[in-house]
Homo-oligomer: A and B are copies of this chain.
Amino acid sequence: MALSDIEIARGATKKPIQEIGARLGIPAEQLVPYGHDKAKVSAEFIRSLEGRPDGKLILVTAINPTPAGEGKTTTTVGLVDGLNRIGRKAMVCIREPSLGPCFGVKGGAAGGGYAQVVPMEDINLHFTGDFHAITSAHNLLTAMVDNHIYWGNALDIDVRRITWRRAMDMNDRALRQMIGSLGGVSNGFPRECGFDITVASEVMAILCLASDLADLERRLGDIIIGYRRDKSPVFARDIKADGAMTVLLKDAMQPNLVQTLENNPAFVHGGPFANIAHGCNSVIATRTALKLADYVVTEAGFGADLGAEKFFDIKCRKAGLEPAAAVVVATVRALKMNGGVKKEELGQENVEALTRGCANLGRHVANVRRFGVPVIVAINHFTSDTEAELAAVREYVSRLGADAIVCRHWADGSAGIEALAQRAAELADSGQGAFRPLYPDSLSLFEKVETVASKIYHAAEVTAAKSVRDQLASWEAQGYGHLPVCIAKTQYSFSTDPALRGAPEGHVVHVREVRLSAGAGFVVAITGDIMTMPGLPSSPSAERIFLNDHGFIEGLF
């Protein structure tokens, strides 16, 4: 019987984290250890890297996710192991998983099979405490807002217009909508409030976009916590919370170093949502990695329509990053689902449906190329894939002028992904990359949404109520017009209808609501229902999680 992810991870021969750091040229005293297999890189060491040349940045993205699974993180980790296997100095740079969802549906987020980052239990639980620090900083600001109102509200905040909520790293639907400050004079002024899961916090997005602690503090100060009756914004800086929030985040700001199962280095740092935020690991981790390795393989959230677009238009634009190549991950199973096959029938060969579903892959490939980034397709192999199916994908992709390479890293580790590693390195080194964002800063906010919707989603039209358009115009008047947009849309489709698989055309994107993340530096356009606080299922995995007699965690993965 095949070993489970956690069994494989437990069997890993981990090297002391100082050895992993040494391979990147990080002296042991510049690593802040968390246990023997995790460490943060010191701010001092990161500062010392300034002026060094950058390695090549390779993005791993994917087709629209389906219940069949794509294996994006697995491929990111596998590709780094493959690159090291063929003699290249490469490292992983990915997001930290959120604690809350671990207790809902079984499954962690640190790769899988023989392509994982370890220690996977720690990474999926408290890790180095970054998310807890973000939760604390977020809630300190809220406490200070309510406290300010309690003691006289000198800033004249309209309690009906407070937009800053609270945060918890837990799936708890009871916290979505609440009334707080009940119970009389000493508990404050009752008002509607609620919690978002920590990954949805603007503090998370800020930490992931800030270049250093000074920039972090500036951005935290720029957070808008709400508005006065005259609709003028009140900032976290006005509440005087930015300094203490920075103090709470000073360690969380430093990238976390861990290793793959094959002892290659990995930064796992930051983890904003890929719908209401930009969905990539921290800028500081990516920039540091580029100074330490010749190839840095990173990942964007969800499918390329959401994840890669935001990676390019928000993170790369703002941080001045120039990705040299991109890998689009697909599986035969997921392509068949995109071609209309039901989950129960995925085990049967179906070349016709597969070919139909390839339209989804084709559009993602074309979209990534729009950003001036050369593309390669990774077919993450499943044992049920047939030769005819694999050949059909290869042929489809080759007609697009790209390579599709079958990868067996899940089963075989680096030995199963050599070909992809070889081709990805060639592509990254080819000089073909000429990165450019999709739209200029100067476009109006609504035009930015329209550009993404037409060019990436192939929508016919973007609609929005007058109030939404007025809100955008008002932010433009306040000087926020230059910001990029962050579209919150279902990850399951190019359209706003999660059931519409494949490559739909001519659909309408309706912007229901817009939000300004002034500290993070983007405007969120929300289409459809976006959940910022998940709930638990009827039989949450938490019920089956326990420590066994050997002190190992059971049921988490």
For the complex, give the distance between the alpha carbons of A103 and B241 in Å: 10
- Smallest CB separation, A127 vs chain B (Å): 9
Q: Does A499 belong to the interface (CB within 8 Å)?
A: no
Q: Does A553 belong to the interface (CB within 8 Å)?
A: yes
For the complex, give the distance between the alpha carbons of A207 and B330 in Å: 46
Task: Return the contact of A170 from the options B33, B139, B213 (Cβ within 8 A).
Answer: B139
Q: Does A437 belong to the interface (CB within 8 Å)?
A: no
- Smallest CB separation, A488 vs chain B (Å): 18
Task: Return the contact of A217 from the options B43, B103, B173, B547 (Cβ within 8 A).
Answer: B547
Residues in B with CB closer than 8 Å to A139 are 168, 170, 172
The answer to whether A246 touches B147 (Cβ under 8 A) is no
Q: Does A20 belong to the interface (CB within 8 Å)?
A: no
Residues in B with CB closer than 8 Å to A168 are 139
Task: Return the contact of A547 from the options B35, B192, B246 (Cβ within 8 A).
Answer: B246
Write the chain B residue with the least CB distance to A188: B174
For the complex, give the distance between the alpha carbons of A170 and B546 in Å: 29
Residues in B with CB closer than 8 Å to A103 are 140, 143-144, 244
Residues in B with CB closer than 8 Å to A246 are 546-547
For the complex, give the distance between the alpha carbons of A43 and B244 in Å: 35
The answer to whether A99 touches B136 (Cβ under 8 A) is yes
Q: Does A178 belong to the interface (CB within 8 Å)?
A: yes
Q: Does A179 belong to the interface (CB within 8 Å)?
A: yes
Residues in B with CB closer than 8 Å to A129 are 126, 129, 132
Q: Does A150 belong to the interface (CB within 8 Å)?
A: yes
For the complex, give the distance between the alpha carbons of A176 and B129 in Å: 26
For the complex, give the distance between the alpha carbons of A248 and B103 in Å: 11
- Smallest CB separation, A333 vs chain B (Å): 30
Write the chain B residue with the least CB distance to A143: B172
- Smallest CB separation, A551 vs chain B (Å): 7
Identify the A interface with B (CB < 8 A): 29, 32-36, 43, 99, 103, 125-126, 129, 132-133, 135-136, 139-140, 142-144, 146-147, 150-152, 168-183, 186-188, 192-193, 213, 217, 240-244, 246-248, 250-251, 535-536, 538, 540, 542-547, 551, 553, 555-556
